[in-house]
């Protein structure tokens, strides 16, 4: 889960695959042309874990969100996985 950057242009209809594959950290690539869904707190895109070569969903939240949720959501998921992080 990452905050959405204002420089991501997902409306471009032309270009090659590398034009809309956006690196997220060292391990992930977001495919900006494959939006899976959206909700009140952000958008979800298809992505790839480049180290494990697995498909993933990547949730984006606007950087200027009035009530940011991704940080708390990620802590909740870690706790549910047994990560031992206090919420």
Q: What does each C-alpha distance from 51 to 10, 27, 33 come to in angstroms? A: 24, 6, 21
pLDDT tops 70 at residue 16: no
| Domain housing 43 | 2-62
Asked if residue 6 is part of any domain, the answer here is yes
Instruction: Give the chain's domain count.
Output: 1
User: Residue 22: pLDDT above 60?
Assistant: yes
Instruction: For residue 79, tell me if it sits in a domain.
Output: no
Question: Is the pLDDT assigned to residue 5 strictly greater than 50?
Answer: no
- Look at residue 71 and tell me if it is in a domain: no
Please check whether residue 36 lies inside any domain of the structure.
yes
Average pLDDT over residues 30-54: 94
Handedness of CA 75, 81, 83, 87 (dihedral sign): positive
């Amino acid at each position: 889960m990452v905050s959405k950057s204002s420089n991501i242009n997902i409306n471009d209809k032309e270009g090659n695959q590398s034009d809309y594959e956006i690196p997220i950290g060292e391990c992930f690539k977001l495919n900006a042309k494959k939006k899976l869904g959206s909700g009140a707190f952000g958008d979800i895109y298809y992505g790839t874990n480049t180290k494990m070569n697995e498909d993933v969903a990547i949730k984006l939240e606007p950087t200027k969100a009035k009530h940011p949720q991704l940080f708390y959501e990620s802590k909740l998921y870690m706790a549910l996985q047994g990560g031992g992080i206090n919420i």
